Structure 1
Amino acid sequence: MRLTDWQLAFEEHLLAETPVANSGFAATLLGGPTLDVDTGLAIYHNAYLSRLQEVLRHDFGAIWYWLGDDEFAALTAVYLRRYPSAHYSLRWLGERFPAFILEHLVAEQSAPLAELARLEWAFTLAFDAPQGQPLTLNAMAQLPAEDWPGLQVTLAPSVQQLLCRFNSVALWRASKEAADFPDSQALDSAHICLVWRHENVCHYRSLDPAQSAALAGMVTTGWSFSELCAELAVTYAEGASLQAVTWLKQWVQDGLLERRGS
């Protein structure tokens, strides 16, 4: 058997549903005085699956906390058979896990579980994102007055936005605090949750609809600061400029924004 054929046969064994090795492949190996071939191959098979599941427990700790050991192990075993690790870095192993949950489970169970998985994956993406050049309060203080009306911003690279229809943030927080796990519930109204990294620490915050719309106007629609003030004037009248500055200061202080075109 050529080396490449043997490597492919070993890979096939590791990815198989059962730890029992193909007899033809097993015949190419020699056992030792204390460990026969079949037992050794079974150990490799189970250890490989166990290592991948350990990565998923780390990346989706709240899902593990929700389901418990046995259900999480069963779910991730099916996931790994359907979507085997295809990247040299295990960092990407869970990329398809939220979508898989929607595929694999009934809608009533999958929707809140998949949303929680997306929230957890957002933390992974935020932590590994490029640093970028977030605006600072000091830089804003030095901005010439004539530049304020045309100021445009975009999100810093680490910022992830998640539309939450369930109490996923409360579920995630309970898992991190090892507290009593609340029942999964649909929210009266959906909200945007931001996840981002600032000074090497991941943060999260839910936005009310007004602030969410204002932020989307600037970073997605491309409003300038003067256009933000004009939009807010419909609701806040003479207080529009103050509200715009208050939110902008908060976004900059949190490290959410970069200057567009910088």
Structure 2
Amino acid sequence: MSLALLQAEFGNWLMTGSDHAAARFAPTAQAGLLVYQNNYRGALMACLRESFPQTLQWLGHDDFQASAARCIDDCPPDSWSLDHYTAVFPQSLARQWPDDQEVAELAVLELALADAFVGRDAAPLDSTALGLIDWDRAVLRWVPTARLLRLGTNAPAIWSALASKGAVPQAERMPREATVLVWRHTEIACFRTLDPAEAELAPQLLAGMPFAAVCHHLVRAHGEADGVGIAGHWLARWAADGLLDRNVMA
């Protein structure tokens, strides 16, 4: 057996544990194979536990372990890094808990927060620089760690309660999906639910949107006085939250 074939057979056995794959190795190797498989599964299980602590709290130890084991069986890793393996867990939970949508959405939120924490750095616009910008020409763009989630349950409220060790609400489906913004401010991964008006413009702000266009949109929707006031309020909040990428300001 060539080295490449041996490695492929060994990888197949680690992921499937099938008797057919194990039979490719000598009887004296069987005990050692079990040690390797235990280490393989243990590493993946530990990765999921550490990456989804609030989902673990919500499900409880036994249900989380069972769900993680099912994910490991159904979705073997396809990358050299354990960091990439976490991406498959929310989809696996959605399949395993179809009547409990908040389970997968908790994992989606936790994954997004983890991705934001290690995301690409950017120089945010400081609030003190707002008066130095030519707002007729300025183009706004949110920082690279910003991303949008569409969630249909109160998973954000559940996550916040679990993380703060407060009173945890019952799971509930919302009347309509909400848009949740996730980003990193300094060294903290943050999120908040956007109101419908802000959510409507959010995709354009991720790509880059002239501030004049933001004002024009709000003036059409709310009238001149209220529209300009909302635009100013949003701008101040985005700057305070570290959301505005300084490098794209005109």
The TM-score, its normalising length taken from structure 2, stands at 0.86
Alignment of structure 1 residues 80-229 onto 2, 5 Å:
80-102=72-94, 104-105=95-96, 107-109=98-100, 111-143=101-133, 147-216=134-203, 218-219=205-206, 223-229=209-215
DSSP 3-state at the match of 1:165: strand
Is this contact kept in 1: 2:152–2:174, CA < 8 A? yes
Tell me by how many angstroms 1:128 deviates.
1.5
Report which of the two structures shows the higher radius of gyration computed on alpha carbons.
Answer: 1
DSSP 3-state at the match of 1:255: coil
Amino acid aligned to 1:231: H
Tell me by how many angstroms 1:61 deviates.
1.6
> Cα 1:50–1:20, aligned 2, differ >3 Å: closer, same or farther?
farther
Is this contact kept in 1: 2:142–2:205, CA < 8 A? no
Structure 2 unaligned regions, length at least 5: none
Between the two structures, name the one with larger relative contact order (CA 8 Å, sep ≥ 6). Answer: 2
Is this contact kept in 1: 2:215–2:228, CA < 8 A? yes
> Cα 1:82–1:72, aligned 2, differ >3 Å: closer, same or farther?
same
Structure 1 unaligned regions, length at least 5: 30-36
DSSP 3-state at the match of 2:44: helix
> Cα 1:26–1:172, aligned 2, differ >3 Å: closer, same or farther?
farther
DSSP 3-state at the match of 2:178: strand
Amino acid aligned to 1:138: T
Amino acid aligned to 1:129: G
Q: 2:49 corresponds to which residue?
A: 57
DSSP 3-state at the match of 2:99: helix
Partners in 1 of 2:19 and 2:185 — Cα distance? 44
Partners in 1 of 2:97 and 2:87 — Cα distance? 20
Q: 2:25 corresponds to which residue?
A: 25
Is this contact kept in 2: 1:150–1:226, CA < 8 A? yes
RMSD over aligned CA atoms reads 2.6
Partners in 1 of 2:12 and 2:199 — Cα distance? 48
**Which of 216, 222, 237 lines up with 1:230 in the alignment?**
216
DSSP 3-state at the match of 1:93: helix
Tell me by how many angstroms 1:6 deviates.
3.1
Amino acid aligned to 1:188: P
> Cα 1:131–1:7, aligned 2, differ >3 Å: closer, same or farther?
same
1:75-132 deviation per Cα after TM superposition (whole angstroms, max 9, x unaligned): 1122122221111211111112222233x335322x3222221111111211121012
Name the stretch that deviates more: 204-213 or 248-257: 204-213
Q: 1:8 corresponds to which residue?
A: 8
